[in-house]
A and B are shown apart, each in its own frame.
Chain A
Amino acid sequence: MLDRVMHLLPPELKAVLERLPESAMEQLEEIRIREGRPLELGIRGQSRFAASDGTLRASSDGAYKPTADICRKLLEKITNHSLYAVEEELKRGFITVAGGHRIGLAGRTILDGGNVRGIRDIGGFNIRIAREVVGSGRNLLPKLLDKNRKTIHSTLILAPPQQGKTTIVRDIARSISYGHWGLYEHAAGWSGRKVGIVDERSEIAACVRGIPTFDVGPRTDIMDACPKAEGMMMLLRSMSPEVVIADEIGRPEDGEALREASHAGVSVIATAHAYDLQDARGRPVLRQLLEDGTFTYVVELKRTAEGFMHRVVTADMKDKLPVSAREPTATVARGEQVVGMQRGDVP
């Protein structure tokens, strides 16, 4: 995992991280760098502090503290020495670099008429190492199929942050685009569908200069770094997608665009932050969408030690919430190779 982001780090920081134990390097998910404060690492969902000799500990005492100089060098590296070229990204608070890694930034904001114009004095970095898990949605996809239209039903995927929404939605996009409809036997002859992704955070496809760095399938078009509502309308007008995918919806205009798309005969797959369906109903935009019947299915995701677990419920508000156990989103036969998957992460 670590070697994928090594080229971004200043030599001093690289030296510390290279001394980490092998297992920690493999399962590293987040590197949190705060100027003058202990270096924090996210390893398999747990927080650890790293000392300068590479040992990991739960308490922050004696941990390695990156200096202001290191932070300045890191900022130069991740912005490719060109702060002016990432002004829009700074406004949103994160930069996506080649490979789909998202680097969150924190610092003092610059305001312009009450709106955030950018961040300066950046003192906090959160490097989230992106991973591509091909086949992670293999068990989930067959449950969402629309047998009449030979495509996928409109689906809302719910989960708290860091539970694998983006990973799953990327795998679904790829499968639909390739026409790999999973285990469902009637879908054997179905062709792939044109997929349009509105990738506001550049996380699903991780585009670098408009070209996806993750494999999102041969029939996929991506509107990169585009506001979701506008991007969906643009895709509908210009690229005639059969499935539209958007990440992390939540604003009123997102809801409007989703409604528009679903009435245009396009299947919509969206993700949102919520623990479960009950939780989602507490958010006005999601509640309205669910009541309008924009989505046929709602998927609740959870990441456990055994991997991604999911539960599919129908979005119909009249139904009582069926209580069923969560199931894994993918099963991997013994010895089968899954690209990008780490042993122990997903069964």
Chain B
Amino acid sequence: MIKLLGAVLILFAGTMIGFQQAARLAARPRQLRQLAHALQRLETEIGYGHTPLPEALDRTADAVPEPLAELFRDAAERVRGPEGLTFRESWEQAMTSGWGSTALRQTEQSVLLRLGSTLGISDKEDQLKHIHLALLQLKAEEDAAREDQSRYEKMWKSLGVLIAVLVVILMV
């Protein structure tokens, strides 16, 4: 009886782990797409609105869903804070502290950190070039992420169940 209960629990857990991995794979290209939208929004704010960065970040945050919105909002709040942080410092802090709640990886983070070190310190043309470059890099990542998704999403879903079944068989 207890063995049966244990087997059911293992099956359930294995399936859930598989589905969760699959969901992470599916979330990454979606969030990459949202991130690209956010940067395009930022590009418009800088290029056409000449909006100062803290305000531009707030507006960008309003235009994208969580958890990405929180990254931008956090950066805007830190730069307004009383510690007198430079923009680069606040951006870096926001990107590292809020990164865990996203499905994004190290490569995207380094793209954003590189962008953060150039934002706000040069003229409009230069700013737009840097944002454009970041957008191109994110696009490449997004394509790769989509490929990963189509290749591994189904695999993870079935793999979770199958491994759980294997463990149950070995136990019995």
Interface residues of A (CB under 8 A from B): 10-11, 72-73, 76-77, 79-85, 87, 118
Q: Which of A10, A73, A81, A118 lies in contact with B123, CB distance below 8 A?
A: A118
Q: Which of A10, A73, A80, A87 lies in contact with B54, CB distance below 8 A?
A: A80
Does the CB pair A77–B124 fall under 8 Å?
no
A118 to B53, CA, bound (A): 19
Interface residues of B (CB under 8 A from A): 46, 50-54, 56, 79, 83-84, 86-87, 120-124, 126-127
Q: Which of B51, B84, B122 gathers most chain A CB within 10 Å?
A: B84
In the complex, how many angstroms separate the beta carbon of B33 from the nearest chain A beta carbon? 26
A81 to B83, CA, bound (A): 14
Does the CB pair A83–B54 fall under 8 Å?
no
Residues of chain B within 8 A of A83, CB atoms compared: 120-123
A10 to B84, CA, bound (A): 6
Residues of chain B within 8 A of A118, CB atoms compared: 123
In the complex, how many angstroms separate the beta carbon of A84 from the nearest chain B beta carbon? 4
Which residue of chain A has the shortest Cβ distance to B84 in the bound complex?
A11
Which residue of chain B has the shortest Cβ distance to A84 in the bound complex?
B124
A1 to B64, CA, bound (A): 42
Q: Which of B54, B122, B126 lies in contact with A81, CB distance below 8 A?
A: B54
In the complex, how many angstroms separate the beta carbon of B118 from the nearest chain A beta carbon? 11
Does the CB pair A81–B87 fall under 8 Å?
yes
Given contacts A11-B84, A85-B52, could you give 4 more A-B pairs where the C-beta distance is less than 8 Å? A76-B86, A80-B53, A81-B54, A85-B53
Number of A-B contacts (CB under 8 A): 47
Residues of chain A within 8 A of B120, CB atoms compared: 76, 79, 81-84
Residues of chain B within 8 A of A10, CB atoms compared: 84
Which residue of chain B has the shortest Cβ distance to A72 in the bound complex?
B86
A198 to B35, CA, bound (A): 43
Q: Which of B54, B84, B86, B127 lies in contact with A84, CB distance below 8 A?
A: B127
Q: Which of A11, A80, A83, A85 gathers most chain B CB within 10 Å?
A: A85
In the complex, how many angstroms separate the beta carbon of A207 from the nearest chain B beta carbon? 15
Does the CB pair B123–A84 fall under 8 Å?
yes
A85 to B49, CA, bound (A): 9
A10 to B56, CA, bound (A): 23
Which residue of chain A has the shortest Cβ distance to B124 in the bound complex?
A84
Does the CB pair B87–A84 fall under 8 Å?
no
In the complex, how many angstroms separate the beta carbon of A3 from the nearest chain B beta carbon? 15
Does the CB pair B84–A81 fall under 8 Å?
no
Does the CB pair A80–B123 fall under 8 Å?
no
A36 to B120, CA, bound (A): 24
Known: A10-B84, A76-B87, A76-B120. A84 touches B46 (CB 8 A): yes
Residues of chain B within 8 A of A87, CB atoms compared: 123-124
A118 to B87, CA, bound (A): 21
Does the CB pair B52–A81 fall under 8 Å?
yes
Residues of chain A within 8 A of B126, CB atoms compared: 84
In the complex, how many angstroms separate the beta carbon of B96 from the nearest chain A beta carbon? 19
A82 to B58, CA, bound (A): 14
Residues of chain A within 8 A of B53, CB atoms compared: 80-82, 85
Does the CB pair A81–B79 fall under 8 Å?
yes
> 28 pairs across A/B with beta carbons < 8 Å?
A10-B84, A11-B83, A11-B84, A72-B86, A73-B86, A76-B86, A76-B87, A76-B120, A76-B121, A77-B84, A80-B52, A80-B54, A81-B52, A81-B79, A82-B46, A82-B51, A82-B52, A82-B56, A82-B120, A83-B122, A84-B46, A84-B50, A84-B122, A84-B123, A84-B124, A84-B127, A85-B50, A85-B53
In the complex, how many angstroms separate the beta carbon of B47 from the nearest chain A beta carbon? 9
Residues of chain A within 8 A of B79, CB atoms compared: 81
Residues of chain B within 8 A of A79, CB atoms compared: 120
In the complex, how many angstroms separate the beta carbon of B36 from the nearest chain A beta carbon? 21
A82 to B87, CA, bound (A): 9
Residues of chain A within 8 A of B56, CB atoms compared: 82
A76 to B79, CA, bound (A): 10
In the complex, how many angstroms separate the beta carbon of B129 from the nearest chain A beta carbon? 11
In the complex, how many angstroms separate the beta carbon of B112 from the nearest chain A beta carbon? 16
Which residue of chain B has the shortest Cβ distance to A110 in the bound complex?
B123
A77 to B53, CA, bound (A): 11
Residues of chain B within 8 A of A76, CB atoms compared: 86-87, 120-121
Which residue of chain B has the shortest Cβ distance to A73 in the bound complex?
B86
A98 to B51, CA, bound (A): 16
In the complex, how many angstroms separate the beta carbon of B55 from the nearest chain A beta carbon? 8
